[in-house]
């Protein structure tokens, strides 16, 4: 088991706990990590865990598993605090990434209102959403295709916008490269970007911002 | 002079006249083309003609030359008709491409109102411009960086939008690849795209659309 | 159901109705959109709907489904008007994209003659087709591989050519990047481009052009 | 002058004022913007203004110009507050981008300590710097080449790290693409990214984070 | 069988024996190579041999097969010598590539200690591992995502570091391009790189270095 | 059946007959083309026809089908002439592309000796093969990975070398881009290139060269 | 002078003589190569030799220098034979590459008729040229932008077409990548490709084809 | 001067001393580093220092400067030991990178024989050179274009080959991407790669290999 070296103290050092990224791991590796977690009695988040693998590595149903966001939580849920975060998305197809961001926030004790399907092709939807977001401290925006949402939104609100480009789209938008370019080249200052489809990373960054401003959740990651 | 074979009948065949793309031609080649044009007595548009080369190939000032758009016209101007076209741009930096589109339209007898500097970071500018564009038959939109203008505009107007991505921008936006992706991946249906910085091509396409709908200028390209 | 926010007024605002792009949506999401549509009693076009998903989300056969173009229509067909559009393709392999364009036009009330398999390797086929297309108001051209069709055709007709590069091809042509480059870099002015395989977008753009010229179909999208 | 449409109310709406990106503008355009600014009596930041152009557009020396960061400020300086930001860089060669970030922060009233030349090849430098950064609310990290600094730093501090990949480097690192990939793919959660060499954008994002947490500077952008 | 022309003398000429790269070969081709090998009585390493194909081409179980690294050895094992090599990896997900490197070294008689899961996000893990690696003659480092491990490690040890970027990662890191760039652009001198996921090549290079220094294993590749 | 427009006169016009590229066609489309072919009584080559599709479209076994090269011939074989062509490949894994080239040559009446598995890592194999190829009129060389074979071979023989880069390889060589670059950038003059994996195109080019020199096969493509 | 190792026997071995590619060489290096050439009394071709460098390395005017194609010949001209080659180009801007191909052919004793400016946008020009090219043994076709010329021409003639994509074009066509893709993905079989702008390589390949068919020039490269 | 933080102990820690990469530094920054170096009395290597900058920062001629390799040494030369390294290059145009590698080795006390201009197009040159290299402990191979030298050489010698792809080449080879791919995808095991044009990095890696084997130079970097 010498290939597993979990960074248990990450939360103490950086404010965000380690999580298990399952996509490139074998079921056997995930099973051993889960066993270590159970043994230690620590809460743990598993991301990019597809339903087939979840069934295989968690036959007893130890995880609180969500099939849309492909996330599983060990150790139960904690009380949620509205710390000023929000999640906004351009289309129905972005629901998976939205879910990963929301579930990560919730794992860390942060509750966040969500506005989905507010793409700029129907501009009234963005303008409408922006009104509700005026008092937010940080906004996670999720969009694929040309991801014009990032620039439009950042021009309408005061909060920093964490852009999560998604791999939703076809042709030149395939794999999210166009949405990523759109986020990075945004003409609206104050947009910051995370990797394509990286809802988890956006949630961690949001938490770090909230913590740094003194608005983070009171407790996080303790076994309830 | 066997290397010059101008397609004099293009306007009769396709509705748009041949023009001379100077960027990759030597001054000597452009000089000979100008001589042929003068000899034949035909109006002609020269594009991508930088000021230094213009001075070299046109010492007598035969061309009506515009240093911003790098275009020169031989044979004088024609009366302009407002056929329902318009040109819109996101930023001051797009002025060169806007100029190439406008000068091409004017060479062909089409006058078109212009709205510059209406980038989405200040969304009120786009919304304001869109109101004035409700009755247009075709809109040429010019934008660099993330080019969110294309999608926002196309969601607000009925006219087809010809997107001209520009090479304005830095980092990932350099050379216009991000703006091009943004145009092609637009979530707003009805956006069509031409090559990066191709104001000339956008104007030709607009003219073809106007001609096809029976709204093209009455006369075009004849020596006045 | 807060993640579904359909832009019902898009047709009134832009001349083209919203459609449902199914590729990145889960069957559950599509099912809910279909239910909303039925409830509202509006006609609706579903694109990128593969046969397996269609069987799953439409067990009662509410959709008029076409397995070649992967499109489904809810709400029945409308009378078709020949408004001056046409669809041309380079090879048999482009049939799926041709179908998406045609079915979208037809959903919006536009009938359009089609010429398939007129690739330039047998040049007589293009020349032959071009003769029949002299009176068209807009031509949708569909081609993969090196897509020389776009330039050849645009040099022979007066109508604007909407190029749809397809992902048909192998090696460097894989994914349609070569065909896309060919469309954008065309030496024949008047070619405009949409995203790779985007037959739907081409049809929407064609409709906008026809509408703008006053030649659009009389009625569109009403429940018959 | 119809091509200049400055978004004067941006600061009120989003917390960061509009600035003038000079790279793609002609000297004539910048001259006119400066004139408008002077007339209106507003403070203004000019970025990507190379020394040659500065000399040309500002013969009277109205700007407080810094030749390293290529930035110029109109309207004088304001008092600086240490709001909890910091700037860190990997190498001497990143000084230009560091300067753009710092000057932007200072334009907006934020003073920030700086640690330069702490690249990971001499790891003790990063560890040493990290100790001094434990209490910061936001850190702007600037690095080229493989930019390992972003991940190492984010694993050692609690503050959110805004990564600014620079175009410093040769071979595969040319133009900053490798550093950008390194920032986006960072295994350390909480890294967010801005465009290559975009010190201005990083500073704006930092200000938005500080503002959102209630730690922004008291006054910003008023004429002193 | 004229399509099989094995370079049996490679070990004598270059110090590393030929191996069979199975990924692009048909089961029939691999079967014939195995038969030739058995007939000749030579030890042989088969790489990129997935479990399904192994079962098909080796029904009698002639190979010592390892399903994690997808490697099979014909001809039995040899005694292992610790010649000064070591293998280090950033994450659990890199185990497949680590295995290919280790199995290749062992096939050639080289035993090497391994340190897995020492990614830089928990920097103490790298620093800890570096202490144990001070006396090594060559280190194979395996990492995906942004692969900051290569630079950090090479700044802490005297041995040459052979970087093996892996295809582990999502978004921009997909396919290992970011990790590859990170290895090549490393600011720490003395890093050399092999192809993405190429554990085999790294092991061969390590052996060549050990041989060249006079520290290679005494015997290699003979039938035991 | 209006979507099938076969260029029956291609052989008369260009010296090479039309063939059917099956990869992007539906089984139904291929079935109809085969039916047309049978009806007309013409020989026809089908390429990129995988075994599953072949079974589906040719239940009666009308085609002479080769599962390695994925080619099928209708209309029987013709006598083969050795016109001076040869096929050489770097590795066993290139057999599929070698087969496509050979089968295409044979369909057109050209017999060609083949040398496989002569990669440069064992240089003696190339030198050995080059001796046998001194009198050839055209050589088709097939290689993946870094494809050094093209340059080495072209420096040793007088015949033109048609390079066929293959998609064989991993990491940066995936999809054949590295081999393609190697062919195009070859320092040995006289190398010409076709698309990745395009054995068919290489054979057609070889035939055109032989025909042009007056050495083509006497008869080609007639029903025997 | 140990860094100069000219392959004097290349013509004997491969049919094409070594030439000196000057682009990446210093004037001092070219000067020494010229001195060696003069001393040995061999004819030699210098390519990619810009006018400034030529003036510097050849103050005595030993070379027959052509400023359009950037080629210089040492050792005088030889009698030209029309062996069946021809050179065709799409636009005036391709003249430099056309010149490099022609001068290389002439250096080797091959005279070839040329047709320039026959781009497909005016299709009649290609059709007209194709008539004159029916009896050619090999055609070098030179084109930039989308390079549709390659496919159209190859569908009309029996000779093999050597495509030389040029770096002429803007936007996506910049650097010749689109034209290169167009050549490789051509739907017209029998097109072979050389590197972007590589007129020299195309001429060498053409000579090898002519030689292989027994139609090469009687003498080549001897001092007249 | 807080932006200069030189890693003076690097040699003690890793076996290779820090050097100053001048390409992205301003003359002022280099001047200050040189002053620090002189003050401290340490030998120092300056790389990527073009002649113009050298003249500017070193008016007193403190550096031993080489205009071909763009390297300067402060502190005098040390005695050279032949430790078993060698440098080989494919073409005259690679001389700059060869020089950077050699000068770096010599700065560190390693003398190394050099073989230039042994490209594979004249294969006898490589075979000839390989004979002389049989006893080497490490070989630095430098090549641009398709860089077939790497694979051919690695198949003929026992020493590890450090491939340095160069940016020499045109078209697809521009910037060295093709040569880099060729090195990484080499079919000859035992090739390791450094960044494009990185002669310095290759020399550092070679020194680390020699040191690790116990064959490094006795003294290095001390002031003589």
Q: Between D91, D118, D171, which is nearest H197 by CB?
A: D171
Provide CB contacts within 8 A for A27, sequence distance 6+: A53, A56, A57
| Residues C78-132 pLDDT 10s | 999 999 999 999 999 999 999 999 999 999 999 999 999 998 988 999 999 999 9
From first CA to last CA, the distance across chain E in angstroms is: 28
Per-position DSSP letters for D176-221, written without gaps between them: GHHHHHHHHT-SSTTEEE--TT-HHHHHHHHHHHHHHTT-S-S--S
- The helix or strand, by DSSP H or E, that contains position A71, with its residue range, turns out to be strand A71-74
Give the minimum alpha-carbon distance from A144 to chain B in angstroms, rounded to a whole number.
Answer: 9
Considering only CB atoms, E214 lies closest to which of H14, H194, H213, namely: H213
Rounded to an integer, the average pLDDT of D194-217 is: 96
Q: Which residues of A touch B173 (CB under 8 A)?
A: 181, 184-185
Structure token digits, residue F131: 């001796």
Q: Which residue pairs, CB below 8 angstroms and at least 24 apart, start in B65-71?
A: B66/B99, B66/B103, B68/B95, B68/B96, B68/B99, B68/D26, B69/B96, B69/B98, B69/B99, B69/B100, B69/B102, B69/B103, B69/B199, B70/B96, B70/B100, B71/B45, B71/B46, B71/B47, B71/B99, B71/B100, B71/B103, B71/B104
Is E191 close to H201, i.e. CB distance below 8 A? yes
The model's confidence at residue B57, banded by pLDDT at 50, 70 and 90, is very high
Q: Residue A1: what pLDDT?
A: 34
Interface residues of chain B, partner chain D, Cβ below 8 Å:
68, 89, 91-93, 95, 114, 116-118, 121-122, 125, 144, 168-174
Q: Residue E203's pLDDT is what?
A: 97
* H near C: at least 3 beta-carbon pairs less than 8 Å apart: no
The 3-state DSSP class for residue B217 equals coil
ipTM: 0.94
pLDDT value at residue H1: 34
pLDDT tens digit string along E137-196? 999 999 999 999 999 999 999 999 999 999 999 999 989 999 999 999 998 988 999 999
Q: Decide: D158 and D134 in contact? Cβ < 8 Å.
A: yes
Say whether C187 and G145 touch across the interface (CB within 8 A).
Answer: yes
pLDDT of residue F8: 78
Task: Assess contact for B142 and B179: CB atoms under 8 A.
Answer: no
Of the pLDDT bands very low, low, confident and very high (cuts 50, 70, 90), residue D1 is very low
Q: What is the DSSP string of H31-74?
A: HHHHHHHHHHT--EEEES--HHHHHHH-TT--SEEETTTTEEEE
- Range from A135-149, G6-20, H143-157 carrying the lowest mean pLDDT: G6-20
Q: Residue H223: pLDDT above 70? A: no
Q: Give the mean pLDDT of E5-29.
A: 86
Closest to B131 (Cα-Cα) out of B158, B165, B107, B168: B158
Q: Which residues neighbour E213 within 8 Å (Cβ) at sequence distance 6 or greater?
A: E137, H137, H209, H210, H212, H213, H214, H215
Residues of chain A above pLDDT 70, percent: 96
Nearest by CB: B187 against A121, A154, A187: A121
At residue F200, does pLDDT exceed 70?
yes
Nearest CA in chain G to F196: G184
Instruction: Pick from C208, C214, C221 the residue to mutate for testing the B interface (most B CBs within 10 Å).
Output: C208
Nearest C-alpha in H relative to G179: H171
Which has the minimum average pLDDT: A41-50, B7-16, C19-28, E124-133? Answer: B7-16
For C30-86, write each residue's pLDDT tens digit.
999 999 999 999 999 999 999 999 999 999 999 999 999 999 999 999 999 999 999
Q: How confident is the model at residue E53 (pLDDT cuts 50, 70, 90)?
A: very high
Nearest to C95 among F3, F5, F175 (CB): F3
Question: Do the Cβ atoms of B171 and D2 come within 8 Å?
Answer: no
- Residue E174 to residue A175, Cβ atoms within 8 A: yes
Span D200-218, average pLDDT:
94
CA distances from G112 to F191, G84, G136, G206 (A): 20, 7, 10, 11
Give me the pLDDT at residue F24, please: 86
Chain F residues within 8 A of E176 when measuring between CB atoms: 171
Give the model confidence (pLDDT) of E186-223 as tens digits: 989 889 999 999 999 999 999 999 999 999 997 555 55
Average pLDDT, rounded, for chain A: 92
Does residue F182 contact residue F74 with C-beta atoms inside 8 Å?
A: no
Q: How confident is the model at residue D6 (pLDDT cuts 50, 70, 90)?
A: confident
Contact F3 C93 (CB under 8 A): no
CA-based nearest distance D190→chain A, Å: 4
Of A93, A122, A144, the CB nearest to C10: A122
Subunits with 3+ C-beta pairs closer than 8 A to D: A, B, E, H
**DSSP labels for F91-120?**
-GGGHHHHHHHHHHHHHTTEE--EE----G
pLDDT at residue C4, as a whole number: 66
State the pLDDT confidence band at H219, using cuts at 50, 70 and 90: low
Question: Chain H residues with CB-CB distance to E under 8 A?
Answer: 10, 13-16, 19, 84, 136-138, 154-160, 162, 180, 184-185, 188-196, 200-201, 204-205, 207-215
Sign of the CA dihedral running G99, F178, G7, H117: positive
Higher local confidence (pLDDT), G199 or E218: G199
Q: Is there a contact between G104 and G203 (Cβ–Cβ < 8 Å)?
A: yes
**Average pLDDT in the D113-130 region?**
92
What pLDDT was estimated at residue G223?
52
pLDDT in tens, B123-143: 999 999 999 999 999 999 999
pLDDT tens per residue, range A34-79:
999 999 999 999 999 999 999 999 999 999 999 999 999 999 999 9
In this prediction, residue F1 carries a pLDDT of 34
Distance CA C182, CA G155 (A): 18
Residue H5 has pLDDT above 90, yes or no: no
pLDDT surpasses 50 at B108: yes
Percent of chain E with pLDDT over 90: 83
Residue C14: per-residue pLDDT? 84
Average pLDDT, chain G: 92
- Of residues D1 and B196, more confidence is placed in B196
Mean pLDDT for D121-126 is: 90
Report the pLDDT value the prediction gives residue G1, as an integer from 0 to 100. Answer: 34
What is the nearest CA distance from F92 to chain G, expressed in angstroms? 25
B25:G92 CB<8 A: yes
pLDDT at D218 over 90: no
What are the chain E neighbours of D178 within 8 Å (beta carbons)? 178, 181-182, 184-185
Sort out which chain G residues have CB atoms less than 8 A from H91's CB and list them.
24
Mean pLDDT value across residues H142-162: 96
User: Does the pLDDT at position D223 exceed 80?
Assistant: no
* Confidence tier at E1 by pLDDT (50, 70, 90): very low
Residue G49 pLDDT exceeds 60: yes
The secondary structure element, H or E, covering residue B179 is helix B177-184
Alpha carbon B176 to its chain's center: 16
Asked whether residue B18 carries a pLDDT value surpassing 90, the answer given is no
Q: How far apart are CA E169 and CA E147, in angstroms?
A: 10
| Model pLDDT, residue E219 | 59
Ranges A188-202, D158-172, F32-46, F207-221: which has the least confidence: F207-221
Chain B neighbours, 3+ Cβ pairs < 8 A: A, C, D, G
Helix/strand/coil (H/E/C) assignment for every residue in D36-84: HHHHHCCCEEEECCCHHHHHHHCCCCCCEEECCCCEEEECCCCCCEECC
Percentage of residues in chain E with pLDDT exceeding 70?
A: 96
C to B contact (≥3 Cβ pairs closer than 8 Å): yes
State which residue of chain C sits closest to B187, comparing Cα positions.
C201
Residues of E in contact with H127 (CB under 8 A): none
Percent of residues, chain H, with pLDDT higher than 90: 83
**Predicted local distance difference test score (pLDDT) of residue B4:** 66
Chains that touch H (3 or more CB pairs under 8 A): D, E, F, G
pLDDT of residue G87: 98
pLDDT in the model for residue A13: 85
At residue G154 the predicted structure's pLDDT band, cuts being 50, 70 and 90, is: very high
The residues on B that touch A, with CB distances below 8 Å, are 90-91, 119-123, 127, 145-148, 150-152, 154-156, 169, 171-173, 177-189
User: Which of G138, G166, G181, G189 to probe the F interface (max F CBs under 10 A)?
Assistant: G189
What tokens were used for H162? Answer: 């450090």
């Amino acid at each position: 088991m010498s290939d597993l070296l979990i960074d248990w103290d990450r939360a103490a050092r950086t404010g965000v706990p380690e999580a298990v990224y399952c996509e490139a791991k074998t079921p056997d590796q995930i099973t051993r990590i889960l066993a270590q977690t159970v043994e230690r009695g620590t809460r743990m988040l598993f991301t990019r865990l597809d339903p087939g693998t979840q069934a295989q590595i968690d036959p007893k149903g130890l995880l609180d598993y969500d099939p849309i966001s492909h996330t599983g939580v060990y150790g139960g849920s904690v009380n949620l605090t509205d710390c000023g975060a929000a999640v906004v998305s351009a289309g129905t197809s972005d629901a998976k990434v939205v879910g990963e961001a929301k579930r990560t926030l919730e794992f860390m004790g942060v509750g966040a209102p969500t506005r989905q399907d507010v793409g700029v092709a129907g501009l009234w939807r963005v303008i409408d959403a922006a009104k509700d977001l005026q008092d937010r401290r940080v906004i996670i925006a999720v969009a694929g295709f040309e991801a014009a949402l990032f620039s439009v939104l950042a021009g309408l609100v005061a909060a920093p916008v964490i852009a999560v480009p998604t791999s939703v789209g076809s042709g030149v938008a395939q794999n999210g490269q166009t949405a990523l370019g759109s986020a990075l080249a945004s003409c609206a200052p104050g947009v910051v970007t995370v990797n394509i489809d990286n809802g988890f990373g956006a949630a961690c960054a949001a938490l770090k911002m909230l913590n740094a401003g003194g608005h983070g959740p009171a407790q996080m990651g303790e076994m309830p």
